[in-house]
Amino acid sequence: MSFKNNLISNFNSLKYAMTEPAELKRQRAANKIDYNDPNPLISIYIPTYNRGEILIERAVKSILNQTYTNFELIIVGDCCTDNTTELVNQVKDDRIRYFNIPTRGYRYPPTAINHWYNGSTVAANTALSMVRGAWIARNDDDDIWTEDHLEKLLRFAIKGDYEFVSSNYKTISSEGVENVINCSKDEIPIGGTQTWFYRSYLSFVKYNKDCWRKKWNRVNDTDLQERIFKAGARIGYLDDITTLIYPRPGETHIGSKAYLSKEKETENFYK
């Protein structure tokens, strides 16, 4: 790790440690929302980049099929150049809001692993600035929610008076092998980002654009969940499967393995 990266990482860590616990207390005190409301507006956000067809077929389709219907869906394209805009506009549902960031620019050394660490950060932060609901839910453009995803997580959060909840998810390999991922006994008991569900005032915790510079927890979502935990949020874990994760078409892996198994293709995709 370079001296510059180490300096920036240490500065950010100190800044977050000094400001975010205090800001959470301030947000709690200033909050005027009734979080026991059984039918609140939920803001769902999806950051995406040039995956228009899979975005619609997987994430959007499963969201529009939810048993809980009082939501807005915020889709933020990270300067998409494919047919994402056209495909989203073809979905006639007033609950959908779409914004395509006009430029990308240089953000980090454009290696395959850095795209994994940091690729969705700008689009995700843009989406968080657009939320209007009492609760926030996150999904990725290539993942599928069970139809009761929102309903289960909302009821669980209300019952436990939690500020942040998540749940199990199931991965299904290209050969059909299923694996349930349960993070309830981890040091930080938070499930995959596709299962996150939290109070809107936690949106002040933004994704760290410098997460790739760190020595550990370099992935943007693990960086953010650690900071929410350290800020002192009341966290609950639902031991239920609410999300299904498949490899993308033409791939055999998910997560970082999908990025690293075809490094050159990944780097060319994000150029």
- Asked whether the predicted pLDDT for residue 155 surpasses 70, the reply is yes
Q: Which two tokens stand for residue 90?
A: 């073809």
Residue pair 70/41 in contact by the 8 Å Cβ criterion:
yes
Q: Which of 58-62, 136-140, 262-266 has the lowest mean pLDDT?
A: 262-266
pLDDT above 90 as % of the chain: 91
Q: Is 5 exposed, middle or buried (0-12, 13-18, 19+ CB in 10 A)?
A: middle
- Asked whether the predicted pLDDT for residue 1 surpasses 80, the reply is no
Axis-axis angle for helices 3-30, 220-231 (nearest 10): 50
The structure's pTM equals: 0.96
Domain extents for the chain?
3-269
Residue pair 47/141 in contact by the 8 Å Cβ criterion:
yes
Partners of 99 in the β-ladder = 76
As a whole number, the mean pLDDT across the chain is: 96
Locate tokens 């938070």: which residue? Answer: 190
Within 13 Å, how many C-alpha atoms sit on residue 9's CB side? 15
What is the C-alpha to C-alpha distance for residues 99 and 95, in angstroms, rounded to an integer? 14
Confidence class of residue 46 from pLDDT cuts 50, 70 and 90? very high
What is the C-alpha to C-alpha distance for residues 49 and 242, in angstroms, rounded to an integer? 24
pLDDT for res 112 = 94
pLDDT for res 250 = 87
Q: What number is the average pLDDT over the span 131-156?
A: 98
pLDDT in tens, 173-196: 989 999 999 999 999 999 999 999
Q: Which two tokens stand for residue 76?
A: 């933020």
What is the C-alpha to C-alpha distance for residues 1 and 214, in angstroms, rounded to an integer? 8
pLDDT for res 255 = 86
Q: Which CATH number fits domain 3-269: 3.40.630.40, 3.40.50.300, 3.90.550.10, 2.30.110.10?
A: 3.90.550.10
Residue pair 118/209 in contact by the 8 Å Cβ criterion:
yes
Residue pair 119/49 in contact by the 8 Å Cβ criterion:
yes
Q: How many helices (H) and strands (E) does the chain have?
A: 10, 9
pLDDT for res 271 = 78
- Asked whether the predicted pLDDT for residue 235 surpasses 70, the reply is yes
Q: What number is the average pLDDT over the span 11-37?
A: 97
pLDDT above 70 as % of the chain: 100
Tell me which H or E stretch contains 74.
Answer: strand 71-77
Q: What number is the average pLDDT over the span 123-128?
A: 98
Q: Residue 63: which of 142, 126, 166, 125 has the closest Cα?
A: 142
Residue pair 150/42 in contact by the 8 Å Cβ criterion:
yes
Confidence class of residue 59 from pLDDT cuts 50, 70 and 90? very high
Residue type, 204: F
pLDDT in tens, 219-230: 999 999 999 999
Q: Which of 1-5, 153-157, 169-173 has the lowest mean pLDDT?
A: 1-5
